[in-house]
Every structure is written in structure tokens, then in C-alpha cells.
Chains A and B, each alone.
Chain A
């Protein structure tokens, strides 16, 4: 040991600052919970959260405007490249919007530890308690989401996966009303999520056994040099894929999605449905394109199957749903399937970058529409809380024409009708898939889009052409935050549908250099 000097690792603090800001604010949030008096907490946490997300967004834009780096940051552990920066931008904007929604009162339980229906709970509600831990939990989850798609080795990716998921498991169980559903969603999400991350970890162990490293670049290099270890490689890739496909909710790992989306507080569902999908697709792309890019002939048939199954399961099962949040969950599964067709569209570098740019645009478009749709769901209420059952939405167009109109617009965007953002997203992804030689997949995609359009239109018909029930739900007077969320999401859906060029160009630029290796 004598004579050897330990060189300190170089850390690019400027590039990593979005994450550092979010994690720093989350830790400050925990300290606020510990030391600030109860009546002050919300008025400290809320601005802290919004400022942190805003600050992280500004530093992301600054990092992007300084030109895209060509090597991975933090000694090769975190790859802050074009796609990462674009994904960070989307996640931070969507998280900011969802934070406005979360900030709305009456969504979260007064005291999570109090048993539902007990005297404790009544007392907590009467004293106006609020579980302000929601804000730091949100920030920790967002920090994990930023790290997840940017991680350049599997260990960082696993830690990011857990940092992202663990706070979400808790957030799911904190609904103020229908607490049994919420707690059940939390348990289900937790057990299945932990199960799937164990698969991810075992896959990672096998790939480490194969390549002798968990670095994505080293795994990619080992594909060409290691021979006779194919069992380790293929089983490892399959198990890793299970963990990643679970997070995006692809069939056959989609079972948690409807339950969790229905049971979780709607503001948390909005966050999960938009940002987690974005982050998980970033990570999925990075693993399969960077580490396993040279293996695409082997994983592509499997992905074909998963994509077809996901699109069909999502679209067909959505038809039978009677709960609005469950229906949106199945719609989210179908959308994950559409996005997977883009993941398969690999080929030349040019094809790859157009597929990547299509996926990035799709994620941005879908994320905004989803947050908006769930924000509308929070506003349609009856005595027991949100009116989730579809029959309660009958005739909403007559009671609240503006709200129902906006919701119908979001549904049309999900269906991919021209002049909405969903159209360009789908068009771009399907074009990339055709370019990548996946024509049959696109045919399945178009057919399942048509099936999906049926149940979106069914809700629109229900809202506008049915008579409202006498004891129908009331429309809660929206808080400033909720109306801002709906307005922003609607504006984004219109702008991305009518005038998508700036964002398409941005996605093209982000995708042009592909992932750094």
C-alpha cells in the first residue's frame, strides 16, 4: 500500500445539480418535518418542493444549453446525455404540475397511523392534521426518477429504482377517503414491486457473472468477447427485463397497475402514471440499447411478443372497466405497448435516433395529457369522495360543460385523434417502427388503437348524450392549483397537437447523438 496515492474521483457537480437539488430539498423537507411546528409545516414544504423542482428544471436547461457532454459523469456511473436531459426536463415539469395537484387539500389522510373509522382518526381530522411528509416523499421519488434513466451501470440503476419506488409505495397508501382501498393498493404495489425488483437484482447478478462488471459499456463489450456463458447471459437478460417491464406495466406484468391506480390518491396516481412511465422507459431503453444493443436479434422477438400482448391486453380489458381510474390505468398499459413498438425499432444509427426521438415526444405528450385527465377526476366528487364509477359520469356534459369538454379532449388525445398531441406521438412511434421493419406490430398497434378509441368515445358519449342522474356527482370548485394543472395540461395537449415542431426539434436534438456509452 505504501507509495500508492488514492486519487479522488471527479464528480461533475454542475451536470448532476438537478438531482442534487431535488435530493437536497427532500432532506431539508425531512428536517422540517422533525423540527418545524405542525401549523407551519405545509407553508414551508409546499414552496420548498415547488422551488426545488423549478430550480432543478432551470439547471437541467442550463446543462443542456452548454452542449451535450460526450462522456458519462461521476466516473462513468451517471450518463447525463441528450436523452437523459430531455427526460429530466419532462419529469421535472410533470412533477411540478403533479405537485400543484398534490398540494390541493382534502386528498391526503389526516394521520396515516390512525385506523380508519376510529376515534383517533376523527380527532386527527378535527384538529386539522395533515400528513405533510407527502412533500419530501414526492421529492425523493422524483430524485430516484431522475437517476433511474440516467444510470450508466446496473448498480446505480437498482438503487435508483428503489429510491424511486419506495416513496411511491407509501404515497399510495395515504388517501384521505376510501382508505381501505388505498391501503390495499399500497400493500399490493409494495409486495409486487419488491418481488419484481428481486428479479431485476438476480438478473443483474447473472449479468455480472457473465461480464465481470455491471457497467453497461462493459456488458456491451463482453457480448463480443465472452463465449460459452450464454445461459448466464440469456437468463440474466430475461430477469432484468422482468424488473424493467414491471415498472412500465407491460403485459404480462401489468396486474398491479389498475389496482394501484384506482386505490392511490388521485394526485399520486397522476404523478405515477406520467413520470414513472417516462423514467422507466428511459431506463429500459438505456439497458436494451446500450448494454444489449448488439444482442437485439435475440431480445427483439421477445419484445415483439410483450408489445403485442401489452397493446391487446390494455385495449381489450379497458372496455370492460366501470371505474374511470381503472379505465385510465388500462389505457396507460395500452400506451406502454405503443411505446414498446418504438423500443423494438432498432437498426442503423439513424433509425435508432428517429425511434428515440419519437419515444421522447410520445412520453412528453402522454405525460401532460395523463396528469390533466387525473386532475379532472379529482374534481368530480360525490358524498364519499371522488365519483369513480363510470355511471356517475353520465350527463356530466350538461352539468359542467367546460370540465366535461376538457376531459373529452384529453380522451381524444389518448385515442390519438389528429390535432391533439397523442396523434403526433403515435404517428412518430409507428413510423419509426415501420422503418425498423416491424410492420405487423404496427398493424396490431393500429387495431388496438381503434379498440381503445371505442372506450374513450364511449365515455364521451356517456358524458354528453346521457341524462344526468338526479343525485349525480357535484363538481368541486377547483382550487387555484387544480385549475392551473388542468389548464396547463390542456394547453400542452393543444400546443403539442397543433404546433408540435419546437418540441419535435428538441426531441430530435436530444436523440441525435443517442445514448453515450
Chain B
């Protein structure tokens, strides 16, 4: 029965990963990363159910806290570059290359 949840988690992870690679707005890219983290959480909780131990559920809480910390740092950085460039597009920021 848990297989469906794992498939869903893999799909969410793939959607997130494809989003990171194709979307151009830094905020959306960042949301896709968060989607990937939540896909991980779903996998952890499912495996916890499958193995009958609580480790996975515990890890999900840690991941949520880490993701929250990441949001704080990430939004600070994205807002900083948006205020400078008036754009949050990852294509615009291209001074560093080659």
C-alpha cells in the first residue's frame, strides 16, 4: 500500500527538479527546491510506516526546521538581489561567466 505514496513522492521530487532547471524566476526556483524537500519528507514518513519505526517521522521534523531556516536565508538573498536589479530572474544575473 505504501508504494503509491512513494510514487507520489518521486513524482513531486521530479516536478521540483524539473522546475528548478526550467523556471527563470528565483522565487519560483526556490519554491521548486522546497517542493523537493517536501517530497523527501513524504518519502521519509512513508518509509517510517513501512519499517514500523519512528525515525522517518522524526527526520521529517528536522527537515521542516532546516527548510524554514533555508527560506529565511534564501528570501533574504533573493530580496537583496531584487532590490539591486529590480528583477528576480536568474537569467539577468549573468555577470559571472566563463
Contacts and interface: CB of A to CB of B under 8 A. Distances in A.
3 closest residue pairs by CB, A with B: A198-B36, A205-B43, A209-B47
A202 B43 contact: yes
Contacts, number: 125
B1 interface: no
Interface string A88-117: 000000000000000000000000110110
Secondary structure dominating the interface of A: helix
B40 A201 contact: yes
Size range of the interface on A? Answer: 35 or more
Contacts of B93: 183-184, 187-188
Contacts of A115: 83-84
12 contacts: A158-B63, A166-B73, A169-B74, A173-B77, A183-B81, A185-B96, A187-B78, A191-B20, A191-B90, A208-B55, A208-B56, A209-B6
Given A180-B84, A199-B36, A212-B51, 9 more contacts: A112-B80, A155-B59, A155-B62, A162-B66, A184-B94, A205-B47, A208-B59, A209-B47, A258-B96
Given A187-B77, A191-B26, A202-B36, A209 B20 contact: no
Given A158-B66, A184-B96, A198 B84 contact: no
A191 B33 contact: yes
Nearest to A168: B73
Interface of B: 6, 9, 13, 16-17, 20, 26, 29-30, 33, 36-37, 39-40, 43-44, 46-47, 50-51, 53, 55-56, 58-59, 62-63, 66, 69-70, 73-74, 76-78, 80-81, 83-85, 90, 93-98
Contacts of A186: 77, 80-81
B77 A194 contact: no
B7 to A, nearest CB: 13
A213 B37 CA distance: 19
B13 to A, nearest CB: 6
Given A187-B77, A259-B96, A263-B96, A162 B69 contact: yes
Contacts of B30: 191, 194
A262 interface: yes
Interface string A162-195: 1000100110010000011101111110110011
A486 interface: no
A320 B98 contact: yes
A251 to B, nearest CB: 16
Contact of B13 (A159, A179, A202, A209): A202
A180 B90 CA distance: 13
Secondary structure dominating the interface of B: helix
B76 A170 contact: yes
Nearest to A172: B77
Contacts of B17: 195, 198
Contacts of A190: 73-74, 77
A191 B33 CA distance: 8
Contacts of A159: 62, 66
Contacts of A166: 69-70, 73
A265 to B, nearest CB: 14
Q: Which residue of A166, A187, A206 has the most chain B CB atoms within 10 A of its CB atom?
A: A187
Q: Which residue of A112, A158, A191, A321 has the most chain B CB atoms within 10 A of its CB atom?
A: A191
Contact of B26 (A112, A155, A187, A214): A187
B85 to A, nearest CB: 8
Q: Which residue of A158, A173, A198, A208 has the most chain B CB atoms within 10 A of its CB atom?
A: A198
A448 B70 CA distance: 38
Contacts of A173: 77, 80
A199 B43 CA distance: 13
Nearest to A205: B43
B59 to A, nearest CB: 5
A264 to B, nearest CB: 10
A188 B93 CA distance: 9
Q: Which residue of B9, B37, B95, B96 has the most chain A CB atoms within 10 A of its CB atom?
A: B96
Contact of A179 (B26, B66, B84): B84
B31 to A, nearest CB: 11
Contacts of A191: 20, 26, 29-30, 33, 74, 90
A195 B96 contact: no
A302 B16 CA distance: 26
B97 to A, nearest CB: 8
A183 to B, nearest CB: 5
A118 B58 CA distance: 47
A116 B78 CA distance: 15
Contacts of A212: 47, 51, 53, 55
A113 B84 CA distance: 10
Nearest to B66: A162
B2 to A, nearest CB: 9
Contacts of A321: 98
A389 to B, nearest CB: 13
Given A198-B16, A208-B44, A184 B81 contact: yes
A169 B55 contact: no
A314 to B, nearest CB: 15
B62 to A, nearest CB: 6
A109 to B, nearest CB: 10
B74 A194 contact: yes
Q: Which residue of B17, B43, B50 has the most chain A CB atoms within 10 A of its CB atom?
A: B43
B60 to A, nearest CB: 10
